[in-house]
Amino acid sequence: MAEVRRQCRCLLKEAGEAEMAAIIADYVAGLDDSVRTAEDDYRARLAVCGTCDQLMNGTCRLCGCYVETRAAKRGLSCPMVPPRWTKIDH
Ligand code: SF4
């Protein structure tokens, strides 16, 4: 019988996807400072994603990205129109 996965509006680390969450945390930590979102901005972006109907098991249903990776790059923005969080220029 196939495993039934629970659908949730949550980040990977909250979705019981510990192994993938660890891989993504390593990826984010390895981003160059010139592209990585500052920690406070990163948390703020993820807080917004956490209230969004498009978030499903850590993935944005509009772009297909893991939000923990998309939010980690300050030059990217939320794909919603209008975006719920925007590119950071500084
Ligand atoms: S639409 Fe924007 S706010 Fe919603 S999950 Fe995707 S990136 Fe996050």
Pocket test for ligand 1, best of 78, 81, 85 (most atoms within 8 A of CB): 78
Query: CB of 9 closer than 6 A to ligand 1?
Result: no
**Rounded Cα–Cα distance for residues 13 and 58 (Å):** 8
* Residue nearest to ligand 1 atom 8, measured at CA: 49
Mind listing the pLDDT tens digit for each residue in 49-88?
Answer: 999 999 998 999 999 999 999 999 999 999 999 999 999 9
Q: How far is the CA of 1 from the centre of ligand 1 (A)?
A: 33
Name the residue ranges covered by the structural domains of the chain: 12-70
Per-residue pLDDT, averaged over 31-48, amounts to: 96
* Residue nearest to ligand 1 atom 7, measured at CA: 78
Q: Which two tokens stand for residue 84?
A: 């719920």
Please report the pLDDT score of residue 28 as a whole number: 94
Mind listing the pLDDT tens digit for each residue in 7-27?
Answer: 777 888 777 778 888 999 999
Question: Taken in order 41, 74, 89, 53, is the CA torsion positive or negative?
Answer: negative
Please report the pLDDT score of residue 8 as a whole number: 79
**Rounded Cα–Cα distance for residues 5 and 16 (Å):** 10
